[in-house]
Structure 1
């Protein structure tokens, strides 16, 4: 058995996928750095980011991001029954996905000029052919994403994690490579890199891993007893277009109405904002989900609400101070990461302001990650989908009004407000159905954390404003030193204050922080 088809135990699997996520985020940052260096925040970069609105929407519409949730459990059932039954079910799903996504992609490529006007209504007539070209290049990648995810689901079922871990790394690497090698053709090179990455990383690599491992049996099949159940499981996720998954597309669509560079500024700001969301909120949501599902299965609802409350307290105790500190260092962060080449100081100021607004919604992202999975743990995929769709419809006039009023700033404000509305509705609905035990003590505890975070941010803010190193040094060195110094200052002061005023909330984190954390607890 080859190295890439070897089965992994749970500990190794977690390590492999964790390293994959970390490296993928790092490569994504390098990718955006290369884009900002070569093209800055210009009409060309705006068109590139806008080209993903329609393809991403099609992917969301077909629940491409939820294949693991819907397909793997059913695959496990039918492969347990027999190999023949498992491959027949898999082939049926694969056949129908191919029959849906292939003509849909072909149609989208054919009517790309019409779709381009929807994706970026603010793009002028001279730039429209360029957007159509980009859209037609990246659109076929969706076929590879969806069909490749079927292969990946089988690899996960076999507990073979190396190739799924490599997939996003190959994808990002080829985007960067295409952009650099074809930079004379503008952002078109990055588009070809997207297509190459999808074909090689997302489709061929899992396919080869399956064929060369324990084997792949794929044939044309339109009927299987489990296909109806698969569709019923996936349907709420397909039809319920939540603001969580559409936020990025709405930001791009309305960003096109906010002037040249707006889509790029918003994209760079959103990329940084999602770092704490991914590292803290998403990780906590994924980690808490199996425990919540197990408690529901045992009907231990008291412990279920207690676990949910603990998860919310822990996530917010981390996200509130982290988001406030990131607001303080927004400008030096953007300077250090993006300000180089064609990305100017003016672009830095614009992006930093949008980042500060976006960070206001980080806590809402954290709450919805936990509450959403609590609904899933109770086998309710419909409620988050319906509430998310309704919130999206309510958000559309907000995006339009604020964009007309404040341009790119208005788009960021509308995005933050939309996430706040969705989180509030989701939490209120949960409270109405299951009571307030989940949120017991949450408001009081997190209000204390907020006050302590604001106090701890004051000396860090002074460091950023005063810039004691002056302008004689490189702006990147100055930014790095300010981020480091303000982080140490903020972190130590917040830990000291919270260990005294909110010891119960911070104890789990301080006890894992080594000797210094344990000394602060004493």
Structure 2
């Protein structure tokens, strides 16, 4: 190890406030999610909840699920702690060797997986959506789409690799902005390519492939600017690669358990009434907005910070960061979940009740939206509690918790699917998420890693009081959902905007009156 270069290398990674970094990621993620909702409005208007929509959602969900499982899940959680350790304790040459070996190995492995998946597309569709097997045309259409969408896994995984490097060097804005290109590509494909296709949904599959290329190319200049653009060369014998692979195995069942549960929902939903897959998709998209803007943003900035504190053996700061992250999740996640539940139909009508989307589709999607909203806080807590293990390069404990939560989710599915149909699947996912988050928190406390800081009793009063005031106001003031059906687009947008502003204003006003200040939310990386 070249110790003389360590001070210089450390200076390359400036320490910034976690709150500031979180706001940057949240702002970029908000832009992406708003465009994502615009994308879904376009898709809902063109395709509704029919066979074409179901086929595309499954064809996109398969690589997207694997992206979250591998690229943003297992790979990110294993790669960032090792890279953070290298950035703290190794010189620039060793860092470059690690990046070259990881980029080359990742490309080789995923290229092979992509080729096999494209060859076996019909069997892969049947595995993920067995109900499609009852309709050969629907199965074949989905398989054709999957051959276009599956290469997205390779492209977006390399994008995630680049994003992990940028995040470790505290360049959070670029990776957070990158998903905007996916939404722009899909919107463009829906508007420009749909009229050219015999099957309109096939245009969206092309949009996914175009987006994968655009997202990867976008990050290259920023890696070059840092002097960290790798020269990919597979090297599975590299010590860093071997450590990452060792950590990735258990991590597959760690932070990504919620994604596995959502996939199980799709498998079972394909066996229910036509439209069930789409109802779950549209409701999940609304839950993904606060989850991405708040939960994922906090988890994104806290993982490299926790990894660096662990490498420096700063246990007190490590514990304080986890406490800060939990408070921020509750502060933002609880009111978001309650607002989604109270305004389920108005939000769905405003965003999706156009074209092929029917009144019945809105009612069905609202049922699953309320069930997902119930689990929103738990989904967000998983995003910030799992890094408490991964930052210490402990992937064994989360995998045990993840397996237990997955089994519980299947039991909940079988119990709830019969009385509640697709909404039962969403509720089962929410219940298993609470079980997952609860066990992660309990084990972090038991290991002495999570230490609650002073002020929790006062914080609880502030949080519950503000949330109650917001819910009562929204419930009393919002029109009945049937009245929203007669409104024009701009009337709906005006009402939703006003209700959101009112709810947020009352909530934060309550917090301010009862003593919560911005300075209380600051935390140094």
Specify the TM-score bucket, using the shorter chain as the normaliser: 0.7 to 0.9
Q: Residue 107 of structure 1 aligns with which residue?
A: 116
Q: Residue 283 of structure 2 aligns with which residue?
A: 269
Q: CA separation in 2, counterparts of 1:80 and 1:293?
A: 12
Structure 1: gaps (5+ residues): 1-6, 513-522
More divergent stretch after superposition (437-446 vs 139-148): 437-446
Give deviations 1:176-211, integer Å, cap 9, x for gaps.
222222314221110011112113332x44457767
More divergent stretch after superposition (219-228 vs 93-102): 219-228
More divergent stretch after superposition (354-363 vs 366-375): 366-375
Q: 1:331 aligns with which of 345, 349, 359?
A: 345
Give deviations 1:37-80, integer Å, cap 9, x for gaps.
10112221111111234324544554454545544665673999
Q: Residue 126 of structure 2 aligns with which residue?
A: 117
Structure 2: gaps (5+ residues): 1-11
Contact persistence 1:51–1:116 (CA under 8 A) = yes
Q: Residue 515 of structure 1 aligns with which residue?
A: none
Q: CA deviation at 1:151?
A: 4.9
Measured at CA, do residues 162 and 485 of structure 1 come closer, stay the same or move farther in structure 2, by a change above 3 Å? closer
Measured at CA, do residues 511 and 301 of structure 1 come closer, stay the same or move farther in structure 2, by a change above 3 Å? closer
Q: Residue 495 of structure 2 aligns with which residue?
A: 482
Q: CA RMSD in A?
A: 3.9
Measured at CA, do residues 59 and 459 of structure 1 come closer, stay the same or move farther in structure 2, by a change above 3 Å? closer
Q: 1:169 aligns with which of 150, 171, 180?
A: 180
Q: Residue 6 of structure 2 aligns with which residue?
A: none
Residue 350 of structure 2: SS of its match in structure 1? Answer: helix
Q: CA separation in 1, counterparts of 2:484 and 2:299?
A: 43
Answer with 1 or 2: which has the greater Rg: 1
Q: CA separation in 2, counterparts of 1:240 and 1:326?
A: 27
Q: CA separation in 1, counterparts of 2:230 and 2:278?
A: 42
Q: CA separation in 1, counterparts of 2:310 and 2:225?
A: 40
| TM-score (structure 2 length as normaliser) | 0.81
Q: CA deviation at 1:466?
A: 5.4
More divergent stretch after superposition (334-343 vs 99-108): 99-108
Q: Residue 256 of structure 1 aligns with which residue?
A: 270
Give deviations 1:207-231, integer Å, cap 9, x for gaps.
5776799575344655434332232
Q: Residue 245 of structure 1 aligns with which residue?
A: 259
Contact persistence 2:73–2:255 (CA under 8 A) = no
Contact persistence 2:81–2:390 (CA under 8 A) = no
Higher relative contact order (CA 8 A, sep 6+): 2
Measured at CA, do residues 72 and 314 of structure 1 come closer, stay the same or move farther in structure 2, by a change above 3 Å? closer
Q: CA separation in 2, counterparts of 1:246 and 1:219?
A: 31
Q: 1:96 aligns with which of 98, 105, 109?
A: 105
Q: 1:38 aligns with which of 18, 25, 46?
A: 46
| TM-score (structure 1 length as normaliser) | 0.81
- Within 5 Å, give how 1:173-212 maps onto structure 2: 173-184=184-195, 185-202=199-216, 204-206=217-219
Q: 1:227 aligns with which of 221, 236, 241?
A: 241
Contact persistence 1:42–1:261 (CA under 8 A) = yes
Contact persistence 1:320–1:363 (CA under 8 A) = yes
Q: Residue 136 of structure 1 aligns with which residue?
A: 147
Q: CA separation in 2, counterparts of 1:153 and 1:418?
A: 28
Residue 452 of structure 2: SS of its match in structure 1? Answer: helix
Q: CA separation in 2, counterparts of 1:490 and 1:206?
A: 37
Q: Residue 55 of structure 2 aligns with which residue?
A: 47
Q: CA deviation at 1:359?
A: 0.9
Q: Residue 390 of structure 1 aligns with which residue?
A: 404
Q: CA separation in 2, counterparts of 1:240 and 1:471?
A: 41
Q: CA separation in 1, counterparts of 2:89 and 2:41?
A: 47
Q: CA separation in 2, counterparts of 1:79 and 1:375?
A: 19
Contact persistence 2:101–2:234 (CA under 8 A) = yes
Measured at CA, do residues 39 and 439 of structure 1 come closer, stay the same or move farther in structure 2, by a change above 3 Å? farther
